[in-house]
Amino acid sequence: MSTKLEEIYTGQFKGKKKTFFSYLHNVCNTKKKLLVKGELLEIHQKMKNKSKANHLTENKSRNTNFDELENIINTFTESLVLDSSVYIEVRDAIGKPEYYYFNTESFSGRKISALNFLQAKEKLRFPSANNDILTLNFQTFYEKYMKVKEPKSIGKGVEYLNRYLSSNMFSNPYKMLGNALFNFLFVHKYDSQQLIVNDRIDQLGKLRFAIDKAINFLKRQDSERPFSEIKHELQQIGFEPGLGNTAGRILDMLQQLDSLLTNPDHISLKEFLSRIPMIYNIAVISPHGYFGQDNVLGKPDTGGQIVYILDQVKALEKEISHSLEIAGLEAKHKIIILTRLIPNAGNTSCNQRLEKVNDTKNVWILRVPFREHNKNITDNWISRFEIWPFLEEFTEDSYKELLVEFGAKPDLVIGNYSDGNLVATILSKKFGVTQCNVAHALEKSKYLFSSLFWDEMENQYHFSIQYTADLLAMNSADFIITSTYQEIAGTEDGIGQYESYINFTMPNLYRVTGGIDIYHPKFNILPPGVNFDIFFPHYKKENRISEITEEVENLFFKDKGDFVIGKLKNPKLPPIFSIARLDKIKNLTSLVKWYGESAELQSQTNLIIVAGKIKQEDSSDAEEKEQILLMHKYIDQYKLNDHIRWLRGDPDRRRLPEYYRVIADKKGIFIQPALFEGFGLTVIEAMRSGLPTFATKYGGPLEIIEDEISGFHIDPIDGKGTTEMLIKFFRDCEGNQAYYEKISRRAIERVENTYNWSLYSKNFLSLAKIYGFWKYISNLEMTELHAYLDLLYHMLYKPRAKAMLELHKAK
């Protein structure tokens, strides 16, 4: 509760109340109906400045009023103005929005519910809006469950869950969780072979006795003695394969189980569950874009998600293999990436049903076509905003195909992005297995007021369907992986991507009060890595292939052709480099503009950009076409032909890492100027290569880079400020190369220690097992939530997706 605000408007301090209401008057006077944080702060700043100008600075109490007010206004995220009424959303605590209503005529105010706030928002859009629309609330289903308490613990769900489970086991020995754990040990089978324990142990008491007996036996064995040699004795006592491949490992595992049953703690629970073999087959769902290994990156809707998944599955396969080996099991395992088959796939393999993933033993890409109502297969690429009508049949077909390919059901389904997470929701339910979601980027916070103005954007983006899918998938997931903290809970200045789903409205459609609880322990932060085999520091010359270095140097400085714009007059200058899909949100056109506007930057540096297509007619994506036009416009307007090199996007993973390294050889820098970036794989790729990196402060890079230590944060809204930072950096480096080297070294170290796939896969598998256990013991209690989700899927999602198809047919 924002008590300070309440103290002020209730008039406990008269002067403060007056200042606050004159602030609200100024808010009304802007004639804006909807104001966001920056605007609300600006109004206050203007008042403060005016007051100073009126020689009131000596008035100490008035100044204090202004300062206190500033602290309070800093917690305002949004305000609505309806005549003399002002409604304010306050974010005093992360993930716990509060709402207030003020009447600027009667100088009164009160706290209101989220529902009242959303209703006012609807009235603001449509004065005759129907108050009586559907209100969704998911929180009633979670009330009986534990939650993470502190904002700083958000995203550490598994730690919290383990503490909760183990402390309950302790306070309730042999009751709920003790019994649950005991029953859980029997669940594990591989094919039809029983694992862990057999039916000689039919009560919890007998398990304790059997553990003692086995520990005594194992202590007498050489710790390296293989399981196969002691299998028979252990079976007699009641233990089966899966505890370890040597006497030492099995002993360790049983001692852990023993301490878990007598004196449980969260660490031994985590260790024990993480070592039980539970995961053999994984389905990874990623329907949109071109999912392939070659010639796809840089195509529309085809970026970091694909890089992430291809690296992720390789790391997971290694980890599963290793964990099964040390568990003493010779078990087959398989990972299938499920995506869409595109018949007209150009120079990619996206028209092939099955494709083996390179450098893996048993990881495959399975492609299933989109069909329209059991009829025609759709032939061409379809934008991720328009694939919703196809997903139901795609899921049905995929369910059958996955069963055939795995020869059984998978043990885990991992969804990716809104479409993949929706498919994962349905598949995991059908298979009855654990569901994990990875969002990569949620669209909702990328577009300002995209839910309030959903109807105006619907034709292009169909957000009403996407947000419904998001709500279903987030609430259905057993656990959610995010790449950063701010993805869930935002920063002091801005709300998180998941946080934006707590309360929102889509006028005349439905509203949501309690869409997600970011304090739920299902959230876990697990950042991705970079592939260290291909991305390494530029100075490791022995690992570089000189032909590729030469190829890239030629691309940057020599070659001519229809794949490039501009020729660098002075190739010796250090380059400013950027690579991305040519989407509006990536903001590369602004980068060209900033560069064009600064004669000093042009005299200090070159600009090298690798992005998209360079001819409009080569692009099939509306947004990319627009950006291509703008790139050309700025290059011509600022006469940049001698200073810029704009190369078309390059999907070649053999050559791409060398781009960063050649730039680092030239003492250049990397810049990522996106208006918003979910995570930003290019940022960690550049840093790993040794490039001082300047990246957007909106999104993942804010957490990746420690400002002025391992790189720099930039504000893409502030072009001038960014240009000045770049100029200063190059000036500082001119007289002091050690400065460049210091930032470069810190960037390399930062990525090495934090963005590491082997760390990721270890933690990921452990999470999958712990949430698998949690699902097992809490499953029955979640039936009401799942029934509600089912209802919404059929009553809300499906009709809208179907209507969208009709709309398209009519176009």
Does 298 bind ligand UDP (CB under 6 A)? Our answer is yes
Q: Which 3 state secondary structure label does DSSP give 144?
A: coil
Site for ligand UDP, residues 562 to 591, rule: CB under 6 A: 579-581
Complex with ligand LCN: residue 246 or 590, whichever CB lies closer: 590
Tell me: does residue 100 bind ligand LCN (CB under 6 A). Answer: no
# residues near ligand LCN by CB under 6 A: 12
Q: Which stretch binds ligand LCN (CB under 6 A): 59-67, 146-154, 238-246, 676-684?
A: 676-684
Chain position carrying tokens 């802007």: 30
CB atoms within 10 A of CB 339: 27
| Residue 290 touching ligand LCN (CB under 6 A) | no
E strand or H helix at 368: strand 363-369
Which range of residues in 246-254, 318-326, 640-648, 672-680 is near ligand LCN by CB under 6 A? 672-680
User: Which residue number has the CB closest to ligand LCN?
Assistant: 304
Nearer to ligand UDP, 79 or 484 (CB): 484
Pick the closer one to ligand LCN by CB: 281 or 305: 305
By beta-carbon proximity to ligand UDP, the closer residue of 424 and 530 is 530
Closer to ligand UDP at the Cβ: 214 or 307? 307
How long a stretch of residues is the chain?
A: 811
Which one of residues 118, 681, 695, 726 is an interface residue with ligand LCN (CB under 6 A)? 681
722 makes contact with ligand UDP (CB under 6 A): no
Strand residue runs (E) in 20-117: 34-36, 76-82, 85-90, 98-103, 108-112
Centre a 10 Å sphere on the Cβ of residue 199 and count the other Cβ atoms it contains.
8
C-beta of residue 86 within 8 angstroms of C-beta of residue 80: yes
User: Is the distance from CB of 539 to CB of 115 less than 8 angstroms?
Assistant: no
Binds ligand LCN (CB under 6 A): choice among 270, 440, 625, 648: 440
Closest-CA residue to 100 (of 127, 77, 124): 77
Interface region with ligand LCN, contact rule CB under 6 A, candidates 218-226, 605-613, 674-682, 764-772: 674-682
With tokens 């899918």, the residue in question is: 469
Q: Does 679 bind ligand LCN (CB under 6 A)?
A: yes
CB of 585 to ligand LCN, least distance (A): 8
Q: How far is 171 from 263, CA to CA, in rounded Å?
A: 10
Q: Which of 144, 162, 147, 143 minimizes the C-alpha distance to 773?
A: 162
Nearest to ligand LCN of 315, 681 (CB atom) = 681
Among 304, 527, 692, 716, binds ligand LCN (CB under 6 A): 304
Q: Nearest residue by C-beta to ligand UDP?
A: 303
Bridge partners (DSSP) of residue 585 are none
Using H for helix, E for strand and C for coil, what is the string for 475-540?
A: HHCCEEEECCCHHHHCCCCCCCCCHHHCEEEECCCEEEECCCCCCCCCEEECCCCCCCCCCCCCCC
Of the candidates 73, 436, 441, 526, which one interacts with ligand LCN according to CB under 6 A? 441
Q: Is 678 in the site for ligand LCN (CB under 6 A)?
A: yes
Pick the binder of ligand UDP from 420, 521, 649, 699 (CB under 6 A). Answer: 649
Please say which residue, 495 or 555, places its beta carbon nearer to ligand LCN.
495
CB of 674 to ligand LCN, least distance (A): 8
Nearer to ligand UDP, 109 or 304 (CB): 304
Dihedral of alpha carbons 33, 38, 40, 45, sign? negative
Within 8 A by CB and 6+ apart from 499, the residues are 94, 95, 488, 489, 490, 518
CA nearest to 174, candidates 272, 252, 260: 260
Among 97, 287, 300, 303, binds ligand UDP (CB under 6 A): 303
Q: Of residues 241, 289, 680, 772, which one binds ligand LCN by CB under 6 A?
A: 680
Q: How far is the CB of 433 from ligand LCN (least distance, A)?
A: 23
Q: Which does 277 bind (CB under 5 to 8 A by kind): ligand LCN, ligand UDP, none?
A: none
The span from the CA of 380 to the CA of 367, in Å, is: 14
Asked if residue 25 lies in contact with residue 47, where contact means CB atoms within 8 angstroms, the answer is no
Our finding on whether 677 is near ligand LCN (CB under 6 A) is: yes
- For residue 668, which of 606, 713, 603 has the smallest C-alpha distance? 606
CA end-to-end distance (rounded Å), the chain:
50
Q: Of 304, 527, 668, 699, which one interacts with ligand UDP (CB under 6 A)?
A: 304
| Partner interacting with residue 420 (select from ligand UDP, ligand LCN, none; CB below 5-8 Å by kind) | none
Site stretch for ligand UDP (CB under 6 A), options 255-263, 681-689, 705-713, 716-724: 681-689
Closest to ligand UDP by CB, 69 or 580: 580
- Verify binding: residue 651, ligand UDP, rule CB under 6 A: yes
- Minimum CB distance to ligand UDP smaller for 464 or for 484: 484
The answer to the question of residue 537 lying near ligand LCN (CB under 6 A) is no
Strand-pair partners of 331:
none
Which CB atom, from 638 or from 755, has the smaller least distance to ligand LCN? 755
The binder of 402, among ligand UDP, ligand LCN, none, by C-beta within 5 to 8 A per type, is: none
| DSSP codes of every residue in 572-599 | TSPEEEEEE---GGG-HHHHHHHHHH-H
**Residues 103 and 39: beta-carbon distance below 8 Å:** no
CB of 527 to ligand UDP, least distance (A): 12
* Distance, CA of 649 to chain centre: 24
Does position 300 interact with ligand LCN (CB under 6 A)? The reply is no
Residue 157 near residue 165, CB atoms below 8 Å: no
Distance CA 295, CA 144 (A): 50
DSSP H helical ranges for 693-797: 701-704, 719-734, 737-754, 757-778, 783-792
Distance in Å, CB of 527 to ligand LCN, minimum: 9
Find the Cα–Cα–Cα–Cα dihedral 638, 644, 645, 650, rounded to 10°.
Answer: -80
Comparing CB distances to ligand LCN, the nearer of 441 and 579 is 441
682-721 positions binding ligand LCN, by CB under 6 A: 700
For 701-722, what is the HEC assignment? HHHHCCECCCEEEECCCCHHHH
**Is 154 or 681 the residue whose CB approaches ligand UDP more closely?**
681
Distance from the Cα of residue 182 to its chain's centroid = 35
Question: Which alpha helices (DSSP H) does 96-243 contain, by range?
Answer: 114-125, 157-171, 176-186, 204-219, 227-237
Interaction mask 412-431, ligand LCN, x per CB under 6 A:
--------------------
Residues 596 to 635 in contact with ligand UDP, rule: CB under 6 A: 610
- Is residue 307 near ligand UDP by the rule CB under 6 A? yes
Among ligand LCN, ligand UDP, none, what does residue 298 contact (CB within 5–8 Å per kind)? ligand UDP
* Residue number with CB closer to ligand UDP (411 or 650): 650
Residue 650 interacting with ligand UDP (CB under 6 A): yes
Closest to ligand UDP by CB, 8 vs 691, is 691
Contact positions toward ligand UDP, by CB under 6 A?
297-298, 303-305, 307, 579-581, 610, 649-651, 656, 679-682, 685
Contact positions toward ligand LCN, by CB under 6 A?
304-305, 308, 440-441, 483, 677-681, 700
